[in-house]
Amino acid sequence: MIKATLASFLEWVQGIGPWGAVLFGAVYVPAAVLFVPGSLLTLGAGFVFGLAKGTVVASLGSTAGAAAAFVVARSLARDWVARRLARRPILTAIERAVEIEGVRIVLLTRLSPVLPFNLLNYAFGLTAVPFRPYVLASWIGMLPGTIMYVYLGSAAKSVAALLSGETPRSTVQPILFVLGLAATVAATVLVTRRARRALSEIVPPA
């Protein structure tokens, strides 16, 4: 259903001229709030707009979407988000680690390819991290992955091929994968360390 809707949207955006980029970027906001996979939109941005313009559209759009979900979690849906995070220990641990490490955790987790973009947006909304540093760290951390997905989208031969995952591989992918893996390890070490510290404060050693 999502892929079919996205295919129709991409074909429509291609035909509406300069306003297509503005509209495409704006769509990231409700998509992030509603848990639509951002990777599909980013691939689509590459297909429709090419590498350079697609990167700008996807980067600004995904950052705006991350900011919107953050605000929703911090204001309108705080209790609902807290219940969702309680089911995912890793996100709870990240929330605690941010209290100490701040934007460094935001940056590292954004570089990681294995941590869910949409859930992280909401998780950070429950922390004490300030809004502006959060947005800046998210933008910087998401940029390498954004460039990769936009590049893959720009190389797709058709919308059907794009949405089916038939995109050519490139030498950029292994480099960004290693970068993301290193960030994942660093974030995991920091999060685990802070979680253990928090646990030791609650339950002192015998």
Largest CA distance in the chain: 69
Q: Are 96 and 194 in contact (CB under 8 A)?
A: yes
pTM of the complete model: 0.77
Question: Within a 10 A sphere around the Cβ of 28, how many other Cβ atoms?
Answer: 25
pLDDT number for residue 81: 80
Place of tokens 């951002």: 38
pLDDT number for residue 199: 37
User: How is the chain split into domains, by residue range?
Assistant: 2-202
Place of tokens 């988000």: 81
Digit-coded pLDDT (tens) for 107-153: 878 877 667 788 889 889 888 889 999 999 999 888 888 888 888 88
pLDDT number for residue 113: 67
Digit-coded pLDDT (tens) for 69-118: 999 998 887 888 888 777 777 777 777 777 777 787 788 788 776 677 88
Digit-coded pLDDT (tens) for 15-71: 887 888 999 999 999 999 998 888 889 988 988 898 899 999 999 999 999 999 999
Digit-coded pLDDT (tens) for 167-181: 555 555 566 556 655
